[in-house]
Copies of this chain bind each other. A is one copy, B any other.
Amino acid sequence: MINVGIIGFGTVGAGTVRLLFENRDILTERTGFEINLKRIADLDILRDRGINISQDILTTNADDILDDPHIDIVVELIGGISPAKDFILKAIQNRKHVVTANKALLATAGNEIFTAAFNVGVEIGFEASVAGGIPIIRVIREGLVANRIKAVYGIINGTSNYILTKMTDEHVEFSEALKEAQSLGYAEADPTLDVEGVDSAHKLAILASLSYGIPISFDSIYKEGISKISPQDIEFASEFGYKVKLLAIAKETDSIIELRVHPTMLPKEYLISKVDGPFNAIYVEGDATGSTLYYGRGAGDMPTGSAVVSDIVDIARNIRKKSTGRIPIMPRTLRDLRIKKMDDVISRYYFRFSAVDRPGVLSKISGILGDYNISIASVIQKGRRIGEAVPLVVLTHEAKERDVRQALREIDPLPVVMDKTVFMRVEGKEN
């Protein structure tokens, strides 16, 4: 029998507990042993979670789990940095295996936590930290173990994807779509982490570390959110044949890795462009497999609980077989990999200039773009209002981010340009 203690009896905690109880029969069938939920710690042990558990296993004191010599696996589901980090480090110190869904913590203190676990010889399971019910950690670490990963990119924040889907389908502004997401419980009262790309970057840091064998490098990730996207840009993108998605991207070329999160235009016919609402999807390109895609619910009590329990089972199997450390938590590459500066990233771009509708304006703007080696693939000018500002929409061929920024610094102050230029990066095959 393997004893488990759960710290944090919120949404994911309740999902995990329900699964351990309601699917106990199949878990036993599939593993050949019992997983016993010995203790649950939460500050609130009075609220009814609708699960029939004995009151005796509830405690408000996490130490009742961390210091219990009979508990083999500690599951941390309180989220946030403090006290989650202290709990995890104490669990490790007490030679307990750890399962966590805490991407914010792993993205910022993962290297320290993994090192501590490695030194003591315990496991850290974190399938639940990325993409909820999609077993993407296992897929990359085990299923695709034979592959050099060329690219991993995905929609890994359901909140932003819900908002972008709503903006796309109903032509509403960001603020309105956000309100709806909040009322449905898809977005928090303070939505910053979700809509500004921070949560996606947390998860990308974990995926990139696994895929490339590099330390967790959250600070090196370029982050740009969706709050400045307008329904107008989504419509122009659509006219060019693209969907707008908040994409977290990791790509390797010649030992240099790009790590970035930003709104991205993707060809409509791509499978990932069709992933709507709160769903997640991750595209992984291996050198052997080529394109693969993994799709499912990225959040919620039961999907995330499924990931937590899969880690509990995995670690329990290692405890039973005394095979802890069977898979290195975070293998380190011996290759000399560097992370590319955002300035050096090469992409195609979408620009929306607010340009005065007057002869010579396009020539002026495209002249400056040309000075910075940015060549134009297509142009749409919308409407005709001589002498007034109209949207001048441009799609470019590949250009360097630094050149784009410098060109815009020259273009935006032009007297014929009435507003800050909006730009987005474009991925995928050129249409």
Contact = CB atoms under 8 A, between A and B. Distances in A.
Interface of A: 15, 19, 23, 25-27, 29-32, 127, 132-135, 138-139, 141-148, 213, 271, 274-275, 286-297, 302-303, 305-306, 309-310, 313-314, 317-318, 320-323, 325-328, 331-335
B327 A317 contact: yes
Contact of A289 (B31, B141, B297): B297
Nearest to A16: B146
**A interface SS class:** mixed
Contacts of A132: 289
User: Which 9 A-B pairs have CB atoms at the shortest separation, nearest pair first?
Assistant: A135-B143, A133-B289, A323-B323, A146-B309, A292-B296, A321-B323, A288-B306, A293-B295, A288-B302
Contacts of A328: 30-32
Contact of A23 (B26, B147, B313, B335): B147
A313 B145 contact: yes
Contacts of A30: 141, 145, 213, 328, 331
A215 to B, nearest CB: 14
Given A289-B297, A294-B294, A309 B15 contact: no
Contact of A29 (B31, B142, B313, B332): B332
A305 B191 CA distance: 44
Contacts of A134: 289, 292
11 contacts: A19-B146, A23-B288, A31-B328, A133-B290, A142-B314, A143-B310, A146-B310, A291-B297, A321-B323, A323-B323, A323-B326
A143 B294 CA distance: 12
A262 to B, nearest CB: 24
A213 to B, nearest CB: 6
B290 A302 contact: yes
A32 B286 CA distance: 21
Nearest to A284: B296
A18 to B, nearest CB: 8
B143 A313 contact: no
Contacts of A333: 26, 29
A289 B299 CA distance: 9
Contacts of A274: 271, 274
A300 to B, nearest CB: 8
Contacts of A294: 292-295
A310 B32 contact: no
A317 B306 contact: no
A78 to B, nearest CB: 21
Nearest to A303: B289
A350 to B, nearest CB: 24
A331 B143 CA distance: 20
A302 B322 CA distance: 34
A181 B335 CA distance: 41
